Amino acid sequence: MTDTSKGFTLTRNLDASPEQIWNAWTSPDEVAEWWHPRGATTPRDSVKLDVKAGGRYQYTMIDGDTGNEVVSGGEYTVVDPNSKLAFSWGYPDDSVDDSPLVTVTIDDLGGLTRLTFDIRGVDGMPGDGFFYDGWESTLDSLVAHLGQSAMHG
């Protein structure tokens, strides 16, 4: 079982609509553009999303320096359009019960939209060069994809 006492939360206040943020997480074309840390790429043909509760997803990140490929995936557990998306995050065929769980919450603040990214099941802290820094960089890639600078919440 995943140890949900471990985890961290990242927030961004974005000058984008809830629909734009939702589409960035749920459109394969958009996911390929940003779902990777800086210096990596996600080939469009590696992105497979079945965005529904119980549906699965998979994508491959390629490190620009080493060429190493990392395949990630999991299962969607909550799909509430333009509001909340929750999914396991690990290897594509891992059980939900044995994987970290990510919850993405989208809140319309009237003008700005708050994106809250919460992951349970892994430790992370700024400067770890791993989970925290990787997701921090990935969310920065999302901000750049949406074409703006973001305020850290």
**Within a domain: residue 1?**
no
Which amino acid type is present at position 13? N
| Residue indicated by tokens 């299962």 | 75
**Within a domain: residue 102?**
yes
**Within a domain: residue 2?**
no
What is the number of domains present in the chain?
Answer: 1
The DSSP code sequence of 84-110 is EEEEE-BSTT--GGGS-EEEEEEEE-S
Question: Sorting pLDDT into bands at 50, 70 and 90, what band is 153?
Answer: very low
Q: Give the tens place of pLDDT for each residue, 19-62.
A: 999 999 999 999 999 999 989 999 999 999 999 999 999 999 99
Cα separation, 54 vs 18, whole angstroms: 23
**Within a domain: residue 101?**
yes
**CATH code, domain with 24:** 3.30.530.20
Which amino acid type is present at position 102? V
**Within a domain: residue 124?**
yes
| Residue, of 152 and 134, whose pLDDT is higher | 134
Q: Give the tens place of pLDDT for each residue, 96-136.
A: 999 999 999 999 999 899 999 999 999 999 999 989 999 99
Handedness of CA 96, 152, 23, 128 (dihedral sign): negative
pLDDT at 148: 64
**Within a domain: residue 138?**
yes
**Within a domain: residue 130?**
yes
**Within a domain: residue 74?**
yes
**Residue ranges making up the domain that contains 64:** 7-152
Question: Sorting pLDDT into bands at 50, 70 and 90, what band is 70?
Answer: very high
